[in-house]
Amino acid sequence: MECKFCSSNCQKAGRQKNGPQKFYCVHCKKYQQKEYQYCAYKPGINTMIPKLVCNSVGINSMARILQIAANTVSKRIRAIAASIMKPCIPLGRKSFEMDELRTYIRNKENQYWVAYALCSDTKQVVDFIVGKRSKRTLRIVVNNLLLSGVPTIKTDRLNIYRSLIPKDRHVSAAYNINHIERNNLNLRTHLKRLGRRTICYSKSFNMLCACLKIYFWYGA
Ligand SMILES: [Zn+2]
């Protein structure tokens, strides 16, 4: 067998406790098997997971496709999300749109909102938060926008915004947040857990945040 590390020749070196043939490389002094049962460490798994997350594949379906355990999938999703940095809010852009998207965790009474902001020019999501539809939640995103000197924030007619955004930097009318409303539909199509009238939903708050983070910012 060819060594997986230095591609010189390996010699047979007994068997593992569970059966498969072991090999030993004299050159780099490493033991190895031709094939492993455990697929989670195969190269490429970690790049596949974010792609599947963004294409409406749930955790259990991902486990079936990649032939690894569902627990491993959710662990990896959390690890990948933790490694993603939030991008900076781009300077020199004229307007940003902000909206909330309703979803729930575990049961339909436990409602949550994904409040997020998007640059009208680049359509890039710059910030988001998951929480109740309250002043406290929305303030975090709004303050981030205001502090980075965003000239105008477009929102729907939710009353909370009026108290958070200064009048001269706020636009709220019926038809000016079309980009983000369209993006809401993308979100519901591309993330399985946000789909409506399906039996798919989020079981945990952290997982919902992690998936959103991957969807918005992975590879950006
Ligand atoms: Zn070797």
Flag whether 88 is in a domain.
no
Domain count, the chain: 3
**Residues 143 and 165 placed together within one structural domain of the fold:** yes
Ligand 1 geometric centre to CA of 24 (Å): 8
| Res 143: pLDDT | 95
Span 132-157, average pLDDT: 94
Ligand 1 geometric centre to CA of 1 (Å): 10
**Residues 124 and 163 placed together within one structural domain of the fold:** yes
Ligand 1 geometric centre to CA of 39 (Å): 21
Percent of the chain whose pLDDT exceeds 70: 100
Flag whether 129 is in a domain.
yes
DSSP the chain: -B-TTT-SBEEEEEE-TTSPEEEEETTTTEEEESS-S--TTSTTHHHHHHHHHTTT--HHHHHHHHTS-HHHHHHHHHHHHHHPPPPPPPTT--EEEEEEEEEEBSSTTSEEEEEEEEETTT--EEEEEEE-SSHHHHHHHHHHHHHTT-SEEEE-S-HHHHHHS-GGGEEE-TTS-HHHHHHHHHHHHH-GGG-SSSS--BS-HHHHHHHHHHHHHTT-
Is pLDDT at 203 greater than 80 in this prediction?
Answer: yes
**Residues 2 and 75 placed together within one structural domain of the fold:** no
Is pLDDT at 211 greater than 90 in this prediction?
Answer: yes
Q: Name the pLDDT band for 1 (thresholds 50, 70, 90).
A: confident
Write out pLDDT tens, residues 157-197.
Answer: 889 999 999 999 999 987 888 999 999 999 999 999 999 99
Strands (E), 105-218: 111-119, 125-131, 152-155, 170-172
Cα–Cα distances (Å) from 120 to 10, 80, 113, in that order, read 58, 27, 21
**Residues 19 and 109 placed together within one structural domain of the fold:** no
Flag whether 52 is in a domain.
yes
Give the chain's largest Cα–Cα span: 77
| Res 37: pLDDT | 87
CATH code of 143's domain: 3.30.420.10
**What's the rounded Cα separation, in Å, for the pair 216 and 220?**
8
Ligand 1 geometric centre to CA of 23 (Å): 10
Span 115-133, average pLDDT: 94
Percent of the chain whose pLDDT exceeds 90: 87
Average pLDDT along the chain: 93
Flag whether 171 is in a domain.
yes
Ligand 1 geometric centre to CA of 37 (Å): 21
Write out pLDDT tens, residues 52-103.
Answer: 999 999 999 999 999 999 999 999 999 999 999 999 998 889 999 999 999 9
Flag whether 89 is in a domain.
no
Question: pTM for this one?
Answer: 0.89
**Residues 66 and 150 placed together within one structural domain of the fold:** no
Flag whether 174 is in a domain.
yes
CATH code of 19's domain: 2.20.25
Write out pLDDT tens, residues 148-166.
Answer: 999 999 999 889 999 999 9
| Res 176: pLDDT | 83
Ligand 1 geometric centre to CA of 22 (Å): 13
Mean pLDDT check: name the lowest of 27-41, 132-146, 179-193, 203-217: 27-41
Flag whether 90 is in a domain.
no
Is pLDDT at 220 greater than 80 in this prediction?
Answer: no
CB 160 within 8 A of CB 143: no
Flag whether 137 is in a domain.
yes
Domain that holds residue 6: 1-37
Task: Count CB-CB contacts under 10 A for residue 30.
Answer: 14
**Residue 10, SS3?**
strand
| Res 99: pLDDT | 94
